[in-house]
Chains A and B, each alone.
Chain A
């Protein structure tokens, strides 16, 4: 799911493989391919000024896009070789983010049934919690 080259700004992180058209358009979605077994999936995103709102904070829609992408990637790993799509995503905005530091994410599968996958995650920046997110994905065809 990942390419082989480490990201120049964030050593250890690599571009997410199979990124969608919208993700490619939005920016740099990165994944840590070497995280230890049994620990949360780890991700990073490099924000730019185009990701801000009029108040100078990272836009809520950008943060929700990160949550959907990173939680969805984690779900897809659990659903493979099946495909899954988002049914519901709940996002709480704990603090505003900036465009000048990477956003890190973690995601964990909380329950997996035959047809549904439950996942939760966080977004942090400079050690500060920006968002908590929980979601349910449907395994297509199940």
Chain B
């Protein structure tokens, strides 16, 4: 199976090397042609997410749930959902940061509304609720086929440290 999205991935993002996904032999999900250039080794080990830019300027993300994510009952592990949330809410938080500035997760609240099954496509359009000089507040409602299944909100600390 060809993975055109893999060939199109940039070598760096935020001045850091893009991590090669542990699993890549699957097509990009419909409506999400671009792979997220993940820079965190744990993310590229645990999942590969995809993104698109919407007409209103927001960014939507999608995560194909695969066999690695199984929590024994055919549903995804809560830790996987929270890791994906940390990833996409992080992209939202970093988009609200001045270029070259780090921000780190201080707190995340996660609620599990419904089991997410292996083979599902998890979708979210993360929102920056408020950004101050030192703190960024983000949230996301995650859906499968339009149905809410998971929600997360997080608080980020702007460290002021340069990323490069």
With an 8 Å Cβ cutoff, the count of chain B residues facing the other chain is 38
For B52-93 the 0/1 string (1 means CB < 8 A from A) is: 000000000000000111111000111110111111000000
Q: Mark B8-37, 1 if CB is under 8 A from A, else 0.
A: 000000101001000000000000000000
Residues of B within 8 A of A59 (CB): 40-43, 83, 86
Indicate if the CB atoms of B110 and A88 lie closer than 8 Å.
yes
Residues in A with CB closer than 8 Å to B41 are: 49-54, 59
Q: How many angstroms between the C-alpha atoms of A42 and B107 in the bound complex?
A: 23
Interfacial chain B residues near A60, Cβ < 8 Å: 83, 86, 105, 108
Task: Kindly list chain B residues whose C-beta atoms are within 8 Å of the C-beta of A91.
Answer: 82, 107-110
Contact B68 A25 (CB under 8 A): yes
Known: A59-B43, A68-B77. A54 touches B82 (CB 8 A): no
The answer, yes or no, to whether A65 is at the interface (CB within 8 Å) is: yes
A121 to B69, CA, bound (A): 24
Shortest A99–chain B CB gap in Å is 9
Q: Closest Cβ of chain B: how far from A27's Cβ, in Å?
A: 10
Report which of B70, B78, B84, B86 forms a contact with A86, defined as CB distance below 8 A.
B78
In the complex, whether B106 has a CB less than 8 A from a CB of chain A is yes
Residues of the B chain whose Cβ atoms lie less than 8 Å from the Cβ of A62: 42, 79, 83
Minimum CB distance partner of B84 in chain A: A61
Instruction: Say if the beta carbon of A26 comes within 8 Å of chain B.
Output: yes
* Cα(A27)–Cα(B72), bound, Å: 16
The answer to whether B79 and A26 touch across the interface, beta carbons within 8 angstroms, is yes
Interface centre among A52, A60, A65, A86 (most CB of B within 10 A): A60
A126 beta carbon closer than 8 Å to chain B: no
A22 touches B70 (CB 8 A): yes
Contact of A89 with B71 at beta-carbon distance under 8 Å, contacts A23-B77, A51-B41, A65-B80 already known: no
Q: Is A85 an interface residue (CB 8 A)?
A: yes
Point out the residue from B71, B86, B111 that lies within 8 Å of A21, measured CB to CB: B71
Residues from 64 to 93 in A contacting B, C-beta threshold 8 Å: 64-69, 72, 85-93
Contact with A along B90-112 (1 / 0, CB 8 A): 00000000000010111111111
Cβ-based interface call for A18 (8 A): yes
A69 to B77 Cα, complex, angstroms: 9
Could you tell me which B residues sit within 8 Å of A by CB distance?
Answer: 14, 16, 19, 39-43, 45-46, 67-72, 76-80, 82-87, 102, 104-112, 115
Besides A61-B86, A68-B78, 16 other A-B contacts (C-beta < 8 A): A22-B70, A23-B77, A51-B42, A52-B42, A53-B43, A54-B41, A55-B104, A59-B83, A61-B80, A61-B82, A61-B84, A64-B83, A68-B79, A88-B110, A93-B107, A93-B108
Q: Which are the 7 A-B pairs with shortest beta-carbon distances?
A: A61-B83, A65-B79, A59-B42, A22-B77, A21-B70, A54-B39, A64-B82
15 A–B pairs (Cβ distance < 8 Å), ordered by A: A21-B67, A26-B79, A53-B39, A53-B42, A53-B43, A60-B105, A61-B42, A61-B46, A61-B83, A61-B85, A62-B42, A62-B83, A68-B79, A88-B112, A89-B110
